[in-house]
A and B are shown apart, each in its own frame.
Chain A
Amino acid sequence: MNPTPSPPPAVTEPATEGRHALRAAGEPARSSPAPPASGPDVAVVAEGLVKRFGATEALRGVDLEIRRGTVLGVLGPNGAGKTTAVRILTTLLRADGGRAWIDGIDVATHPRAVRARIGLTGQYAAVDERLTGFENLRLVGRLFHLPNGESKERARALLDRFDLADAAGRPVKGYSGGMRRRLDIAMSLIGRPSILFLDEPTTGLDPRSRLDMWSLIEGLVAEGTTTLLTTQYLEEAERLADDIVVIDHGRVIEHGTPAELKRRIGGERVAVTVGRPPELALVPGALGSVLTPGAEPVVDEEALTVEIPVAGSDGVVPAVVRLLDAAGIEAHDVAVRRPTLDDVFLELTGHAAEDGGDDR
Chain B
Amino acid sequence: MTAATTSVTTTAPPPGPISRPVASGPAWLARDCWTEATRHLIATVRNPDLLVFATIQPIMFVVLFVYVFGGAIVVPGGSYVQFVVPGIFAQTVLFGSAFTGIGIAEDMSKGFIDRLRSLPMYPSAVLIGRTLSDLVRNIFTFLIMLAVGFAVGFRLEGGVVDAAVASLLLLGFAYAFSWVQALLGLSVKSVEAANSAGFVWMFPMTFVSSAFVATGSMPGWLQAVADVNPFTIVTNAVRALYNGQDPGADLWYSIAWAAGITVVFAALAARRFASRSRG
**A90 touches B (CB below 8 Å):** yes
Given contacts A38-B12, A113-B120, 13 further A-B contacts (CB under 8 A): A1-B2, A35-B1, A51-B279, A119-B118, A122-B111, A127-B112, A128-B39, A143-B32, A143-B35, A143-B119, A144-B120, A145-B28, A194-B16
Q: Which of A78-114 contact B (CB under 8 A)?
A: 87, 90-94, 99, 101, 103-106, 109-110, 112-113
Contacts of A3 in B (CB 8 A): 1-2, 5
Pull 20 A–B residue pairs with CB atoms less than 8 Å apart, ordered by A. Answer: A3-B5, A35-B1, A40-B15, A87-B279, A91-B117, A92-B118, A93-B279, A99-B5, A103-B14, A112-B22, A113-B8, A113-B22, A116-B21, A122-B114, A126-B112, A127-B115, A135-B42, A143-B116, A145-B121, A192-B18
Q: Which of B115-137 contact A (CB under 8 A)?
A: 115-121
**B60 touches A (CB below 8 Å):** no
Mark contacts of A33-65 with chain B using CB atoms, 8 A cut-off: 1 yes-contact digit, 0 otherwise.
001111110110000000101000000000000
Q: Which of B5, B15, B32, B119 contacts A103 (CB 8 A)?
A: B15
Given contact pairs A36-B5, A40-B12, A142-B35, A92 touches B47 in the complex (Cβ within 8 A) = no
For A139, the closest partner residue in chain B by CB is B39
For A192, the closest partner residue in chain B by CB is B18
Closest chain-A Cβ to B114's Cβ sits at a distance in Å of 5
Q: What's the Cα separation between A2 and B122 when bound, in Å?
A: 35
Q: What's the Cα separation between A106 and B7 when bound, in Å?
A: 8
The answer on a CB contact under 8 Å between A126 and B115 is: yes
The answer on a CB contact under 8 Å between A131 and B39 is: yes
Q: Which of B12, B20, B46 contacts A39 (CB 8 A)?
A: B12
- Of the four ranges (under 10, 10 to 19, 20 to 34, 35 or more), the interface on chain A belongs to 35 or more
Given contact pairs A93-B278, A109-B6, A120 touches B12 in the complex (Cβ within 8 A) = no
Contacts of A112 in B (CB 8 A): 22, 24, 120
Given contact pairs A3-B2, A35-B4, A128 touches B112 in the complex (Cβ within 8 A) = yes
For B3, the closest partner residue in chain A by CB is A1
Mark contacts of A123-165 with chain B using CB atoms, 8 A cut-off: 1 yes-contact digit, 0 otherwise.
0111111110001000110111100000000000000000000
Rank and list the top 5 A-B pairs by shortest CB-CB distance, nearest first.
Answer: A130-B43, A126-B115, A116-B120, A120-B118, A143-B121
Contacts of B13 in A (CB 8 A): 40
The answer on a CB contact under 8 Å between A130 and B118 is: no
Given contact pairs A112-B22, A127-B112, A130-B47, A91 touches B10 in the complex (Cβ within 8 A) = no
Q: Which of B15, B110, B117 contacts A104 (CB 8 A)?
A: B15
The answer on a CB contact under 8 Å between B20 and A116 is: yes
Contacts of A36 in B (CB 8 A): 5
**B277 touches A (CB below 8 Å):** yes
Q: Which of B5, B12, B15, B119 contacts A106 (CB 8 A)?
A: B5
For A35, the closest partner residue in chain B by CB is B1
**A115 touches B (CB below 8 Å):** yes
**B228 touches A (CB below 8 Å):** no
Contacts of A144 in B (CB 8 A): 119-121
**A187 touches B (CB below 8 Å):** yes
Q: What's the Cα separation between A194 and B10 when bound, in Å?
A: 17
Closest chain-B Cβ to A330's Cβ sits at a distance in Å of 56
- Of the four ranges (under 10, 10 to 19, 20 to 34, 35 or more), the interface on chain B belongs to 35 or more
Q: What's the Cα separation between A131 and B14 when bound, in Å?
A: 37
Contacts of B10 in A (CB 8 A): 37, 104
Given contact pairs A35-B1, A128-B43, A91 touches B118 in the complex (Cβ within 8 A) = yes
Contacts of B16 in A (CB 8 A): 103, 117, 194
Q: What's the Cα separation between A126 and B119 when bound, in Å?
A: 13
Contacts of A104 in B (CB 8 A): 4, 10, 12, 15
Q: What's the Cα separation between A145 and B119 when bound, in Å?
A: 9
Contacts of A139 in B (CB 8 A): 35, 39
Given contact pairs A92-B277, A93-B279, A131-B39, A145 touches B120 in the complex (Cβ within 8 A) = yes
Contacts of A39 in B (CB 8 A): 12, 15
The answer on a CB contact under 8 Å between B114 and A115 is: no
**A18 touches B (CB below 8 Å):** no
Contacts of B114 in A (CB 8 A): 87, 92, 120, 122, 126
Q: Which of B92-123 contact A (CB under 8 A)?
A: 110-112, 114-121
Mark contacts of B31-69 with chain A using CB atoms, 8 A cut-off: 1 yes-contact digit, 0 otherwise.
110011001001100110000000000000000000000
Closest chain-A Cβ to B229's Cβ sits at a distance in Å of 36
Contacts of A91 in B (CB 8 A): 117-118
Q: What's the Cα separation between A352 and B264 when bound, in Å?
A: 51
The answer on a CB contact under 8 Å between A94 and B279 is: yes
**B23 touches A (CB below 8 Å):** yes
The answer on a CB contact under 8 Å between B111 and A126 is: yes
For B277, the closest partner residue in chain A by CB is A92
Given contact pairs A112-B22, A130-B46, A135-B42, A140 touches B12 in the complex (Cβ within 8 A) = no
